[in-house]
Amino acid sequence: MKKIIFSMIAMLFAFAGYAQKLSDTSTYFEIRKYYANEGKLPDLIKRFQDHTLSLFEKSGMENIAYFLPVNNEDNSLTYILGYPDEKSRDVMWGRFLNDPEWKKAYEESRVNGALVKSIDQTFMKLAPGLNETPIPQASGIFQMRIYTCFDGRLDNLITRFKDHTQELFAEQGLKNYPYWITVEKDGSQPKLVYLLGDRNQASFEANFQNFAKDPAWIKAKEMSEADGKIVENVDAVFFKTLPFSPMK
């Protein structure tokens, strides 16, 4: 019965006026976190809005989401891009960086000083079996959650999300957005990365607490960990989308 209810929820998302969707052409993804120099974050946002997004698209990249953290203590902007595959990622970035339009916009934006101090990158692929439903309607708040598993336990985590967690999130009013697994260049075990949404932070926190106390979740967690713990660490950050973000 729960599976039927979850399917009905997914159908409502798909047909309720507007449902977001990742492009079918992207199979390789990148989270880029820009640490802006002091006082330069507004200029960086403006450069993205006026130039960078359209030039990314011109180079073949998919703009997926643009965020500012709710507590922006590190003066950062985080965004997610999609590419057809890993190889095309470098080709598209080369095309973008050598575009005369970008070079002009870049130099003009730096007249009074560089905008970006440093950049963090995370590469990802879609998590198998966890992106079967349409992306829901817009949320007022997002939380990006990154799970580090104990060695050899990532598949167990993915199975638990597929069989239980996503459905139980939806039952509490939390919105499942894309799920990815990281591509670790050093060969280490990938992490699970996903976005969870709600109308505001207070609602999110209340609904997540209800999820954590749900007897169905407690039972599923205990059963999945009968042969050992799965998750070693969870990093979670609240974000709000920028006005020009395709994902809302």
State the CATH class of domain 2-22+131-241: alpha beta
Task: Give the predicted TM-score (pTM) of the model.
Answer: 0.90
For residue range 175-208, what is the model confidence (pLDDT) as tens digits? 999 999 999 989 999 999 999 999 999 999 999 9
Which among 104, 121, 142, 115 has a CA at the least distance from the CA of 42?
A: 115
For residue range 125-184, what is the model confidence (pLDDT) as tens digits? 999 999 988 888 899 999 999 999 999 999 999 999 999 999 999 999 999 999 999 999
Contact status, residue 70 vs residue 141, Cβ threshold 8 Å: yes
Mean pLDDT over 35-50 rounds to 98
Instruction: Please report, for residues 6, 33, 72, 99, the alpha-carbon distance to residue 93 in angstroms, rounded to integers and kept in the order given.
Output: 39, 16, 27, 10
Delimiting residues of CATH 3.30.70.100 domain(s) in the chain: 2-22+131-241, 28-123
Overall fold of domain 28-123 = Alpha-Beta Plaits (3.30.70)
For residue range 80-98, what is the model confidence (pLDDT) as tens digits? 999 999 999 999 999 999 9
2: pLDDT strictly greater than 50: no
The dihedral of CA 106, 63, 241, 246: what is its sign? Answer: positive
Contact status, residue 133 vs residue 13, Cβ threshold 8 Å: yes
Using CA atoms, how far apart are residues 186 and 177, in angstroms rounded to an integer? 27
Residue 23: pLDDT band (50, 70, 90) is low
pLDDT at 60: 97
